[in-house]
Every structure is written in C-alpha cells, then in structure tokens.
Amino acid sequence: MLSKTYVQACLDGDANIFDLDDYIDYWHNNDIGMTLREFLGLTPYEYQKWGKNSDSIIKDVLRCRKEGIDFAEYERMKGEMLCKD
C-alpha cells in the first residue's frame, strides 16, 4: 500500500500531477479501507470542486497547500479578481 496520500506525495516531490490517474487506479484495484477523497488527501471542498471540474484544478490545490492558502479562500479571491477585470 502507498504510504502517503497523493497530495502529500506531490508536496514531498514523490509524485507529480501526472500520477493522479495511477493513484485512482490503485484505489480502485486495492482494498484501501478509505474513501477516494481520503486516499487522494483532498478536503471535502477540494474533492467536490475536483469532481465538478477537470484534473487541472489539482494544480491549484497543490499550489494552495504549498503556500498555506485555504483553497476555498483562493477560489473566492480568484473570482473577485476576475470580476474586477
């Protein structure tokens, strides 16, 4: 079994954005004992947004985690910036 969540592995440099499908496949093919959200290391909000959007949102999630920014707050700020343009 993988010892880290996908998000933690990315933050530690042990995985990258392109490994997401491998983690999902691993979860489907093994008895993990946790939800996909938990296995990937996403918050409920991040998981919901990822499900409604493409995998590209993962880049923003990882950036927020690296910089210590709450993802929901980041999206709110990003939306405000788009409205000002």
What average pLDDT does the segment 6-35 reach? 96
Per-residue model confidence (pLDDT) at position 85: 47
- Residue 21's alpha-carbon distances to 36, 43, 73, in angstroms, are 12, 18, 27
Can you tell me the distance from the alpha carbon of 29 to that of 68, in angstroms, rounded to the nearest whole number?
32
List, for residues 48-71, the tens digit of each pLDDT value: 999 998 888 999 999 999 999 999
Per-residue model confidence (pLDDT) at position 84: 56
- Closest of 82, 52, 76, 54 to residue 64, by C-alpha: 76
Q: Is the sign of the CA dihedral 42, 48, 49, 53 positive or negative?
A: positive
Per-residue model confidence (pLDDT) at position 81: 64
Residue 80 has pLDDT above 70, yes or no: no
Per-residue model confidence (pLDDT) at position 83: 63
Q: 71-84 and 57-67 helices cross at what angle (nearest 10)?
A: 110
List, for residues 10-20, the tens digit of each pLDDT value: 999 999 999 99
Higher pLDDT among residues 72 and 85, named by residue: 72
